[in-house]
Chains A and B, each alone.
Chain A
Amino acid sequence: MTLLSNPPAATQDDVIALRAIGKTYASPAGAFHALSAVDLSIRRGEFVAVVGQSGSGKSTLLNLLAGIDRPSSGQIHVDGQALHALPEKALSAWRGRAVGIVFQFFQLLPTLTAAENVMLPMDFGKRWPARERRPRALELLARLGVAEQADKLPGALSGGQQQRVAVARALANAPALLLADEPTGNLDSHTAQGLLALLGELVREGQTIVMVTHEHAAIRHATRVITLADGRIVGGAETAHA
């Protein structure tokens, strides 16, 4: 069994294409350039780790890829969609369909069970008929090794279990792109290794993953490492291998 019911086709097409991206924030001290002239292409099936010092622009880059934030300049295409031109309403629908996000602090909704958390994106995205959502959620949880926790609330789960549920939730709508923000930052090393192995497995099944991290152990699992410094890509902008 594969983790992805509807895996993206293993082509050599770019999933992500960033052209001259700039992101500037206004601050009391003046304009702050979080990203400047970033050009980046990521192909399907790549496992990209984004590294850099705090304030280097990693989270900003991830937010732009997720359609959570908009660039101040440049063009951004993800899975063939020009995000910079998409209105807010369409962006929400696109996000639900095309991107899965894994947060550092899991961000599971505390009053929903693990299965219900996984069903939630399907509920918003309406990509699966209502009757298929729970079986699919249970299937994802089983593949991630937390099937027995399906009907438990997040408060009753360990950190590792919560993060696995979060990954299952990110995969709920079979997105073309999985974005992970410090996914192991809140886990012990053993649990973190398990999770990274799981992400590696997903990549082997054709999933594209972009992961922000600062942990060397995590970097080892990536197929490409992009280094950011002061809002610019200083390493790994080009695809190293397919």
Chain B
Amino acid sequence: MHERALLDRIGLSPRWRKMLRDAGLHKARTLLVIVAVATGMIGAGALLDAWALVERATAESFLGSHPPSATLRVDKLDAERLAQVRALPAVGAARVRGRAFGAIEVGGKRFTAELFALGDVAARDIGAVYSERGAWPPRDGEIAIEKSSFDYAGAELGATAQMQLGANPAGTLRISGIAHDVGLPPGWMDHVVYGFVTPATLASLGAAPVPNELQFVVRDARADRDAVRRIAYDVKALLERNGAQVTNVDVPVPGKHPHAAQMDSLMLTQGAFGALTLLVASFLIVNLISAILAGQTREIAVMKALGAGAGQIAVMYFMFALLLGLLASAISIPVAIAIGRPYAALKADMLNFSVAGIAIPWWVIALQLLVGCLLPVLAAAWPVARAARLRISVALRDAGIAAENGAWLRRRFALPGVSRPLLLSIGNAFRRRQRTLLTLLALAAGGAVFIGASNLRHSVLASVEQMFANQRYDVLLRLADAQPAATLEAVAAQLDGVARAQAFATDSATVLHADGTPGNAFTLIGVAPDTPLLQLDLAQGRWLEAGDRNVLVVSQQLARDEPQLRPGADATLTIGGRTARWHVVGADRTVVQMVAYAPFAALTQLHGDERVATLAVALKPGNAATRLETILRLRAALEQHGMPVAGSQLMSETRRSIEDHLLMVVQFLGAMAWVMIAVGGMGLASTMSLAVLERTREIGVMRALGARHGAIMRMIQAEGIVIVVLAWLVSLPLSAPMSVGLAVAFGKVMFAVPAQPLPNAAAALGWLLLVVVVSLLACAWPGWRAMRVPTARALSYE
């Protein structure tokens, strides 16, 4: 006997041999539980791996690049002013750069572009930019495209691109390399092509020949945002004392990537689902260990009669649970790494990082192993403790599964038309109440997340619908230079295909805080109060009215960032270097950008004339090609009138892009529902397998009484259906808090959406259908096994 020889050689004592062989006795069932536990752990482990990788990448890539503590937009910068800033004790490092917006044409396609001309490309102490491929730094007449924009633009190294800044003539640039700036948001996400050029190239394209941005890193790495902001305004004051004009000061949250909070929230939410999946998986362990203990009640009594103490018995079964955990961990840890790494790469890509070459920390693997081993032991604690304390005399008399447990239910459902086999199935489902309850809860939890994710999807789509329903224009044209509003509107109105056109005045504004520090810049949009192109959905207050002067309607995002901009409050805004008091009259609930709306007249009065650079256009109905053709004709018409267009933004494209981003987050959240459903389905298969095994003799009796294979299979399938239908019913009320929780989580990750606690009918029916299919699949194997056992053997089964 090879096995015995091996066990003899390793000196395994009889009790451990027993545990090993018992596990092998029901290989399929044990394997199912291992796979289920592993599945739950893969979900949670992959998230943990991804989180750890992104955290490490953040530390190594983002923080390692020394992201600027502040960026100041300045009209003129030179070496002397830079030296003065560098000499400030609070400033650790500083640099200047030229920055310009325009359009780039690559391979016949036109994209919005943002160009940077760094003073010192080799600098590593502030906003380091690295070469990914090709030549670095770019020479005059060349452009290095940021890696997150490269594929988006369909660029190729060595190819040429046409670059145009505003109304200046386009210039040809050779694409010489791919650069990586981790401080930039991903170009593919923002639909912008970021490029790096020399100052001379930028000047050749028509930009000012001097740098227009100053960036610095504070010396004190622990400085908070307010402290950095104070330093930034010291720098601003210094520059202004020396004759420069600072038009904008941007201070991001120190040490945090701009998207880090969203990513953390997403990871945290998914982590919570990972924990829930582990809990569901632990239900399976409770069921398996309980079933094993129930089946071995007499054996436990015999072992106790032979001198085994309660502790020795408990240790045997805890070790069995530990073995399950070890095997599940052996599967889950490598698979979680295999899933977690690409998932981390995706997340990192959204932050414009890379996780390549970054290892998962050892403690993350150790934690997974620890959880993997402890979870089954903890789950087994209660059934094992109960079995270990069982009195020998009682255990020796154990008669196995009790029929009475399901009898009350059979009696309750004994209605005319309900067949005897169906009554039996209903009753059978409750003969092991604890097991049924745990299986039911596992499936219900999966269902609740499934319905919750579907509700969230509906909420998000409805919110986007509402958002774009409020913006009743189809395209926003950005003019190369400010033009008279009336002329712009007149030219557009004459064009066939244009339903309505209205000029919007735009500017950048900052809130001046009570302590004298300004907040971050936001966009102020001046619109006619009676504009038909904007119909905002207000959460509070009112919309702009004729006769309003310095009043604002703020977006929810801005109100969240600047809490003092609440309806009814007054705030001091700095716009174009001038400071004035403004009154907030309303807050919108749908706009996700940092914007505020003001009366058109108030803003143009501030500018000194009615020249604007933005035109909102509503098109007449037509197909996509017709509408695009109208936009091209409009651009040509404006150009003919000496008003060249620098860029256009199609609302349909913007909407698709926003929907894609939002739904991706919904899918990330909803993915855990599938993991939980898979674990729940395996739980049901395990439960039904145990139920069939325990009732082998009963099934034998039924077959001896003439029950055919089909009847036995139907009975087992009906029992499964009873459990899943109950799980479905339980999942409906459970989905309400789940939907609210998901909406809150989504609000933290992206933007606030109204929670939809009531399950939508399609999702509820879809879940019912899905869970029935899961039941049919889960019960097929136990049913098939029940049919295969010969009647004689089934009758003698103990």
Contact = CB atoms under 8 A, between A and B. Distances in A.
Interface of A: 63, 66, 68-69, 88-89, 92-93, 95-97, 101, 103, 107, 109, 111-113, 116-117, 119-121, 123-125, 130, 134, 151, 169, 173
Contacts of B307: 92-93, 95-97, 121, 124-125, 173
Interface string B378-401: 000000000000011100100000
A16 B17 CA distance: 35
A179 to B, nearest CB: 9
A95 B305 contact: yes
B308 interface: yes
A112 B14 contact: yes
A101 to B, nearest CB: 5
Given A68-B393, A92-B304, 4 more contacts: A107-B298, A111-B17, A120-B14, A123-B14
B8 A96 contact: no
A111 B312 contact: no
B306 A120 contact: yes
A66 B305 CA distance: 8
Contacts of B133: none
A147 B304 CA distance: 26
A135 to B, nearest CB: 12
B310 interface: yes
A121 B308 CA distance: 8
B302 A124 contact: no
A123 B305 contact: no
A76 B392 CA distance: 18
A117 B306 CA distance: 10
Nearest to A153: B21
Contact of A124 (B8, B15, B22, B25): B15
Contact of B15 (A97, A123, A173): A123
A63 B13 contact: no
B299 interface: yes
A95 B307 CA distance: 5
B393 A113 contact: no
The 6 closest A-B pairs by CB, nearest first: A96-B307, A111-B21, A92-B309, A116-B14, A121-B306, A68-B392
B18 interface: yes
13 contacts: A69-B392, A93-B307, A95-B304, A101-B306, A109-B302, A109-B303, A111-B21, A112-B14, A117-B14, A120-B14, A120-B18, A120-B303, A124-B309
A59 to B, nearest CB: 9
Interface of B: 1, 4, 8, 11, 13-15, 17-18, 21-22, 25, 298-299, 302-312, 391-393, 396
A159 B310 CA distance: 30
Given A92-B310, A124-B312, A112 B18 contact: yes
A224 to B, nearest CB: 24
Contacts of B17: 111-112, 116
B310 A89 contact: yes
Given A130-B11, A130-B13, A124 B308 contact: yes
Contact of A96 (B302, B306, B310): B306
B212 to A, nearest CB: 81
B18 A88 contact: no
B306 A169 contact: yes
A201 B770 CA distance: 68
Nearest to A69: B393
B302 A111 contact: no
A55 B308 CA distance: 28
A173 B307 CA distance: 10
Query: Which of B18, B307, B311 counts the most A-chain CB atoms under 10 A from its CB?
Result: B307
Contacts of B299: 107, 109
B629 to A, nearest CB: 80
Nearest to B24: A111
A74 B90 CA distance: 89
Given A96-B306, A111-B21, A113-B4, A89 B311 contact: yes
| Of A66, A111, A116, most B-chain CB atoms within 10 Å | A111
B18 A93 contact: no
A92 B308 contact: yes
Given A112-B14, A119-B14, A93 B309 contact: yes
Given A66-B305, A121-B306, A125-B307, A109 B393 contact: no
A107 B302 contact: yes
B285 to A, nearest CB: 21
A56 B168 CA distance: 113
A69 B299 CA distance: 17
A102 to B, nearest CB: 10
A107 B396 CA distance: 10
Contact of B13 (A93, A95, A107, A123): A123
Nearest to B4: A151
Contacts of A88: 310
B13 A111 contact: no
B652 to A, nearest CB: 68
